Amino acid sequence: MGRIKPRPPGYVFERKQIKLPPHHLNSLQVILFGLRRRLMDGPIGRFIRHAAERHPYIVGEHGPYCSIHPTAAINNAILNATSGVITVGEHAFFGHGVNLLAGTHDPMKIGFDRQRMIPGSGYDITIERGAWIATNATIIGPCRIGENAVVAAGAVVVADVPPNTLVGGVPARVIKTLDLPHAVDAERPYSISDET
């Protein structure tokens, strides 16, 4: 092998045009493309679109340690229920990138023990009815987010949040108390005026 020679000053790379041969679909590819199109336009496609819209990506268990009410609206979220139970109440909703971390490590351990010693319980997270957890908020257990509370975007919650309050910051603190109407229709949390 020869030595690598440095390029002289002012050298410009030459761009070469590469011509690809024209792509022709064979009959099997045409049949598979048509079949795939018919499936996605039919009932299977409707089911997949419904599943993607109504049941978004959730990382974690949806078993005995994680309870999500059917009326809760969750976008992509991480649910870590290794050290406690996560409960999401009715009509609660999450923004994108929400983290619910009921799992933790023991800071009093060192080395391998710190990495592997995870408490089995005691770090429960409860999101009560109508709570709103905004985008990229992190909830670290044990804590309870009160009814109709709002957690601001990017907040890190490490303590209980009272009902009808807005919290934000790192760590989260009460920003203001929300003056909400007392009577809320459980079947329809919003009202549509009949006036035209």
Q: Could you give the residue numbers annotated as active site?
A: 105
Supply angle C-alpha 80, 143, 103, rounded to 5.
25
CA dihedral 89, 92, 95, 100 (to 10 degrees): -20
- Both tokens of 82, joined, read 């290794």
- Bridge-based pairing of strands 58-59 and 77-80 is parallel
| Nearest alpha-carbon partner for 130 in 91, 98, 165 | 91
